[in-house]
């Protein structure tokens, strides 16, 4: 079974803090993704990575950066957290090399910025 884990289920931060969200997958997938999910707006892609040290902007990259130093780990960084970044953050991974491009999601991190 594909396993995607995220470092925290719930996180509370102050405005202006630097925030790190970590994601780890154990299926040797080459692709990893960060989404945020908000009521009424659905899932929106922030960044994705198709290989180590490679990254691409998604639909809403402003205010975020990412890091992928190892194949199994993908980090989302909020350089200076703001209240409008309060959201559910979801990590996913996929591999076309393994036959399908299906994205498998982690449990999510509920981030609250005060």
Partner 1 sequence: EDQVTQSPEALRLQEGESSSLNCSYTVSGLRGLFWYRQDPGKGPEFLFTLYSAGEEKEKERLKATLTKKESFLHITAPKPEDSATYLCAVQAVRYKLSFGAGTTVTVRA
Residue 66, C-beta contacts closer than 8 angstroms, at least 6 positions apart:
34, 46, 47, 49, 55, 74, 75, 76, 77
Q: Which of 28, 51, 101, 114 binds partner 1 (CB under 8 A)?
A: 101
Among 15, 80, 102, 112, indicate the residue that binds partner 1 (CB under 8 A).
Answer: 102
We find the least distance from the C-beta atom of residue 33 to partner 1, in angstroms, to be: 8
Q: Which two tokens stand for residue 33?
A: 């993704």
Is residue 16 a contact residue for partner 1 (CB under 8 A)?
no
DSSP 3-state of 97: helix
Using CB under 8 A as the binding rule, the residues of this chain from 59 to 88 that contact partner 1 are none
Q: Is 48 in the site for partner 1 (CB under 8 A)?
A: yes
Beta strand 10-13 with 109-113 is parallel
50 binds partner 1 (CB under 8 A): yes
Rounded to a whole number of angstroms, the distance between the first and last alpha carbons of the chain is 37
Q: Which residues bind partner 1 (CB under 8 A)?
A: 4, 31, 33, 40, 42-43, 45, 48, 50, 56, 58, 90, 96, 100-108, 110
């Amino acid at each position: 079974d594909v396993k995607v884990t995220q470092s925290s289920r719930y996180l509370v931060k102050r405005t202006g803090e630097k925030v790190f969200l970590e994601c780890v997958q154990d299926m040797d997938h080459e692709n990893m993704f960060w989404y945020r999910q908000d009521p009424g707006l659905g899932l929106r892609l922030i960044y994705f990575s198709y290989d180590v040290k490679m990254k691409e902007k998604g639909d809403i990259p402003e205010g975020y950066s990412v890091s992928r130093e190892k194949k199994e780990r993908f980090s989302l960084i909020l350089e200076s957290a703001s209240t409008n970044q309060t959201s559910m953050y979801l990590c996913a991974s996929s591999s076309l090399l393994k036959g399908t491009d299906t994205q498998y999601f982690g449990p999510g991190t509920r981030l609250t910025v005060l």
